[in-house]
Amino acid sequence: MTKNTVVGVGLISVGWMGKVHSRAYQAIPVVYPELGITPRLVIAADTEPSRADYARDVLGYEQGTLDYHEVLAHPDVDVVSICAPNFLHAEIGIAAAKAGKAFWIEKPVGRGVEETRSVEAAADAAGVASSIGFNYRHAPAIEQIKSLIADGSLGRITNVRGTFFADYSSEPNGALSWRFNRSLAGSGVLGDLMGHLVDLIHYLGGPIGSISALTSTIHTKRPIQQMGTGTHFDVIEGGELGDVENEDYAAMLFRFADSAIAAGAVGTLEASRVAVGPRASYNIEIYGTEGSVMWDFERMNEFQVAIGRTGDLRGYKRVMAGPSFGDFAHFQPGSGTGMGFDDLKVVEARKFLEAVAGTAHLNSNIHDAVAAAAVCDAAEQSAESGQWVTLPAVLGVTAALR
């Protein structure tokens, strides 16, 4: 792309993520003027008419439609954001690739690793760029932690702990959204939150090699919510109840693969969508022979670091993210004035558009989605069989090696 390239954007699904992707595209020319890229919001689709109207009237798309095929067929659309529920990801991802459109798709890509691989095959065959909604990679504190691991400040990584605990469905009358239905979502918290955590572990430490897992469902019935209405944070009093078909909680023990930066290290990962107390506590702890770090999304603009084993002042120290960490300087001039969730999506949009332009390849891509899905599928398999599962070597996790 040359300076001031206009990139035509198509959006599929105008729910929570559809809105966030749209705001991210709109921010690109002002947050990253040096890119010379101006996204043009061309057309957005949602089967719920009020959401297609919202895309046109509020988000600023030139056109709204009920049929996503119109987005893929539109000649002015160069890139597509796929923010549909999981059951549509493979169908739409493959169609986007066949239409020659680069795509930014939300996680999990489909209802398991097979569907994710089908999207990977289509993207590879078409040679189109892909980016995945693994937003937590982009937190400046995470980028700094990645540097500390890479430059050896923590020594040899020995063990890792991750807990992605959310309370969005802690209320037993929390809505039975599409997320709880196996045919619409696939797995439950494994695909929804554990996938993010696995990707972060892959990004920071390299591929996971083997796992042993268990899962449980805490609330087995919930009040039904119609597709395209409300959000999965809604609480519905007195509604008709339906079955929860996938897991609320998942845990795994794991070993890194021999090829990993953290080869030889082990860890534990847990994810819950029904935790009481944590709101969106997406926490990782990385322990090494020379030091340790700890980060939680609820305090995403800071992390704890301890380097050194001796001295009375050893122990954790709080570090605030600042302009020298990741993309922080694009958003705020100094520490203490924090970035937010939407900003992570702006960074993600930046990396996606650069990959499309061919100027940089810092984005997560469909291979990373396959790598995360393979671990989540293996967790389901292990939970069912009670056996350890060894992961095959995958193409993904390339970013960890950069």
Ligand X SMILES: NC(=O)c1ccc[n+]([C@@H]2O[C@H](COP(=O)([O-])OP(=O)(O)OC[C@H]3O[C@@H](n4cnc5c(N)ncnc54)[C@H](O)[C@@H]3O)[C@@H](O)[C@H]2O)c1
What residues make contact with ligand X under the rule CB under 6 A? 12-18, 45-48, 51, 68, 83-86, 88, 106-107, 133, 135, 192, 227-228, 231
Q: How many CB atoms lie within 10 A of CB 140?
A: 28
Chain centre distance of CA 49: 27
- Minimum CB distance to ligand X, residue 193 (Å): 9
Residue 67: phi and psi, rounded to 5, are -120, 115
Phi/psi at 271 (5° precision): -145, 140
Among candidate residues 367, 319, 356, 326, the one with its CA nearest the CA of residue 343: 326
Measured CA to CA, the distance from residue 187 to residue 194 in angstroms comes to 10
- In whole angstroms, the minimum distance from the beta carbon of 389 to ligand X comes to 23
Q: Please, what is the angle between helix 89-98 and helix 113-126, to 10°? A: 10
Nearer to ligand X, 135 or 170 (CB): 135
Q: How far is the CB of 348 from ligand X (least distance, A)?
A: 8
Q: Is the Cβ of residue 16 or residue 309 nearer to ligand X in the bound state? A: 16
For residues 64 and 56, the answer to whether their CB atoms sit within 8 Å is yes
Q: How far apart are CA 199 and CA 121, in angstroms?
A: 20
How near is the Cβ of 280 to ligand X at its closest, in Å?
A: 9
CB of 16 to ligand X, least distance (A): 4
Which of 37, 197 has the CB closer to ligand X?
Answer: 197
Closest to 284 (Cα-Cα) out of 298, 270, 268, 296: 296
Question: Alpha helix (H) ranges present in 104-181?
Answer: 113-126, 140-150
Q: Which are the contacts of 147, defined by CB distance < 8 A and separation ≥ 6?
A: none
- In the complex, the smallest distance separating the C-beta of residue 13 from ligand X, rounded to whole angstroms, is 3
CB of 154 to ligand X, least distance (A): 27
- Start-to-end CA distance of the chain, whole Å, equals 24
Residue whose CB is less far from ligand X, 62 or 70: 70
Say if CB 223 and CB 236 are below 8 A apart: yes
Alpha helices in 214-365 (DSSP H): 341-357
User: Quick one: 107 or 255, whose CB is closer to ligand X?
Assistant: 107
CB nearer to ligand X: give 231 or 390: 231
The residue nearest ligand X at its CB is: 15
Q: In the bound complex, what is the minimum distance in angstroms from residue 254's beta carbon to ligand X? A: 22
Of 17 and 24, nearer to ligand X (C-beta) is 17
Amino acid, res. 367: H
- CA 120 to CA 114: how far, in whole Å? 10
Which is closer to ligand X, CB of 146 or CB of 345? Answer: 345
Backbone angles phi, psi at 328, to 5 degrees: -50, -45
Residue 35 burial (CB count, 10 A):
19
> From the CB of 182, what's the least distance to ligand X, in Å?
14
Measured from the CB atom, the residue of 227 and 393 that comes closer to ligand X is 227
Question: For residue 64, which of 102, 8, 13, 7 has the smallest C-alpha distance?
Answer: 13
